[in-house]
A and B are shown apart, each in its own frame.
Chain A
Amino acid sequence: MIRTPSSNKLIIVMMLVLLLALLLANLFQGSVKIPMMTVLGVLGESLGVESTQEGMRPWMHSVLIDVRMPRILVGAMAGACLAICGTVMQGMFRNPLASPSILGVSSGASLGAVIALYFGLASISVWALPAFASLGACLTLFVVYRVASQRGHLAIGTLLLSGIAIGALNAAASSLILALSLNNWDVGRMIVYWTMGGLDGRTWDHVLLLTPVACTGILLLLFFAKNLDALLLGEIHAASVGIDVAKTRRQLLVISSLLVGVTISVCGGIGFIGLIVPHILRLILGPHHRYLLPASALGGAICLVSADLVLGIFVKDNSVPLGVVTAMLGAPFFLFLLIKQRWFIQL
């Protein structure tokens, strides 16, 4: 495939168009049927255009604007955050296997959120859940990074294995808290509901909670494109072109953890988006983060919104959580990458 700046730009524009189309398609999909013209009428009304559409009922407005729209927006933002974080981690650690779920960051965020729920902190402030999730993500990434780095150098095999080990530890700690909380039915139920995750029942409050962090975080990460390109060539090369490697990594770790933490606190554990999307886009767009970062954000949004759309069409009663679908797609993909790279990651 011939990759030129203009072809990459064209692909990004096409992705944007596809995302908008998917967002619109998702508005038509739900457990109750609302005629297409009514959907367009309600949308028009929301934008201030007078509608003469017959058969428009107040509940349709509630379903479209208060149920479906926040769900779609949260899905798009969550997908964008997870995918761009995956791209950053893969670039930073120079390994396509790195992603928030593989490095234990997602499970760290889950543990933080479960702790906030168990101790009732989530009832005191809406920010407690995102704050604890971000803290959990940040601490996990810091520990994994420290374990894998020696004298400023990063051993990729050790990084992945320590990510898996810390991830397992986080999962075990979450299970322990869940087991303890089962004696308190209300707390246990809340943790179980939260752990199931997904986009069901997301409201405008979730959109408000996620939007500032997602927009700021993604925007900040876009500024690191050159640094990530340099890091791809190795730490020595990055340092030789004037990049403070340790500082850059620290900053990227903090921003990524914050994004993953807030995303997970809002829609629970949705894994593997950060693994699949960057890898596929790297094959299409090449390794330059100038294109890869925005494309990953768009790709992540497309991936999660379309997964939700497919789930809505084929599983009518919402009995399958979205996280299960992404994990079912992501786990075989991870194995595929692992087999492809098995010689490279040997310790």
Chain B
Amino acid sequence: MMKLLKAIGIPAALLLVGATLCYALDIRVAYFTDSAFQPTLIKGEAFPKTLIDATGEEYLLSKPPERIASITLGADEILSDLIDERRIVGVTYLAEDEDVSNIPNKFADQIQRIHGEVEEILALEPDLVFVASYTRAETVRLLLGAGIPVVRLSGYSSYAELEQNIILVSQATGSEPRANAILDELREYVRGIKDRTKGLPTPRVLFYNLNGYTSGVDTIVDEMIQLAGGYNVVRDVGISGTQKISQEMAMGLEPDVILMSGWSELSVSQPSELLMENPSWQQVPAIQNNRVYDLRGYWVLSVSQYSWNGIGQIAQRLHPGAFNP
């Protein structure tokens, strides 16, 4: 009897304690993993606006923010074209990295370069902080915990999502007209590229890194290749997202053009040179026709308005005749 009581009583007591803790502690799961975060929403045409953050909390933005901090390069780049830099108190240190940033030396020195430390962000006393979907959940929750409105830019896998991010930044900063003008220019730019490549043969393109990673459907690189008038060969094998493929598969896809993520411009060699010298790749059409190109990081990795430059750069390499007559 005592044994039975112990067998049932102890687990029951533990369950009861667990349930009480769950109820009493009121810990939100969104504070522990970022997969529970929601996209940021901004309601209202003019200030005061309501910002609904990643955890569903509402903030009233009574007036356009004047002390803006950004801890994501994408937001740095978007802000650089949308608002007066006197409203910015901090940008990420990556803004000065010439390999990945489109805006080195653009911001004044007195604007703090942030390394992602929560303490340094809080010390800037920002009234709005931009973070990315890949910013650590801990950083986001500490900022939210300090009562600072946080705009979390999420979705970087299509130009529609990038446009949405630019609109979100403009809504939060009250710069919608400027954002609309930029987006109109970008759409016009893409139309121009499409006009130039219209009717030209569509080359088979492989985006490939030496570590074996490629970009398939639902990536910005795939859309770049399409808009530039090419066909992403990994679509043939149903690759979606960024995935690693075997060297055999990459060669078997017989790409006419290979695009690679280039290394720093200061590097002694580039990935394209190494691939061209690799004996096993010599029968691949792209190698035989000498059509392997390195793309700069600030074209491929950008998630701001500068990402559209990548389409133009790829189009020039896929259809040199159309751009350099």
Contacts and interface: CB of A to CB of B under 8 A. Distances in A.
The reply to whether chain A is a binding partner of chain B is yes
Interface of A: 30-32, 57-59, 62-63, 66-68, 117, 120, 122-127, 129, 182-187, 189-190, 193, 200-205, 208-209, 212, 317-318
Interface string B113-140: 0010111101111000000011011110
Contacts of A203: 31, 138, 141-142, 145
Q: Is the interface of A mostly helix, strand, loop or mixed?
A: helix
Contact of A193 (B117, B124, B125, B136): B136
B33 A67 contact: no
Contacts of B21: 212
Contact of B139 (A66, A120, A187, A201): A201
Nearest to B143: A62
A182 B213 CA distance: 11
B32 interface: yes
Interface stretch (B181-189, B238-246, B282-290): B238-246
B243 A117 contact: no
B22 interface: yes
A67 B115 contact: no
A208 B21 CA distance: 9
Interface in B116-174: 117-120, 122-125, 133-134, 136-139, 141-142, 145-147
A313 B124 CA distance: 22
Q: Pick the 10 closest A-B CB pairs, nearest first.
A: A201-B138, A62-B146, A32-B123, A59-B122, A123-B35, A31-B117, A123-B36, A31-B119, A32-B119, A122-B33
B125 to A, nearest CB: 5
B119 A123 contact: no
Contacts of B118: 63, 67, 201
A218 to B, nearest CB: 16
Contact of A183 (B33, B141, B146, B241): B241
A117 B33 CA distance: 9
Contacts of A57: 125
Interface string B297-319: 00000000000000000000000
Contacts of A212: 21
Interface size class of B (residues with CB under 8 A): 35 or more
B254 interface: no
B29 interface: yes
B237 interface: no
B34 interface: yes
A57 B34 CA distance: 30
Nearest to A212: B21
A63 B117 CA distance: 11
A266 B225 CA distance: 43
Contacts of A67: 118-119, 122, 142
A205 B32 contact: yes
Contacts of A127: 18, 22
Contacts of B28: 126, 205
A186 to B, nearest CB: 6
Interface centre among A30, A32, A202 (most CB of B within 10 A): A32
Contacts of B18: 127
Given A57-B125, A183-B243, A190-B33, 5 more contacts: A66-B146, A183-B242, A201-B136, A208-B27, A318-B117
B139 A122 contact: no
A291 to B, nearest CB: 30
Interface in B34-53: 34-36
A318 B118 CA distance: 12
B25 interface: yes
Contacts of B115: 317
Given A59-B125, A123-B35, A126-B32, A209 B27 contact: yes
Interface in B86-132: 115, 117-120, 122-125
Contacts, number: 100
A59 B146 contact: yes
Nearest to A57: B125
Nearest to A116: B33
Given A125-B29, A212-B21, A185 B241 contact: yes
A205 B31 contact: yes
B244 A182 contact: yes
B32 A129 contact: yes
A23 to B, nearest CB: 18
A190 B196 CA distance: 42
A63 B34 CA distance: 22
Contacts of A68: 119
Contacts of B33: 117, 122-123, 129, 190
B311 to A, nearest CB: 22
Nearest to A122: B33
Contacts of B31: 126, 203, 205
Contacts of A184: 241
Contacts of A182: 244
B16 to A, nearest CB: 13
Contacts of B146: 59, 62, 66
A223 B34 CA distance: 40
A55 to B, nearest CB: 13
25 contacts: A31-B119, A32-B119, A32-B120, A59-B124, A63-B123, A67-B119, A120-B35, A122-B32, A122-B35, A123-B33, A126-B29, A126-B32, A127-B22, A183-B242, A185-B241, A190-B33, A193-B137, A201-B137, A201-B142, A203-B138, A205-B31, A205-B141, A208-B25, A208-B27, A212-B21
B120 A66 contact: no
A201 B120 CA distance: 13
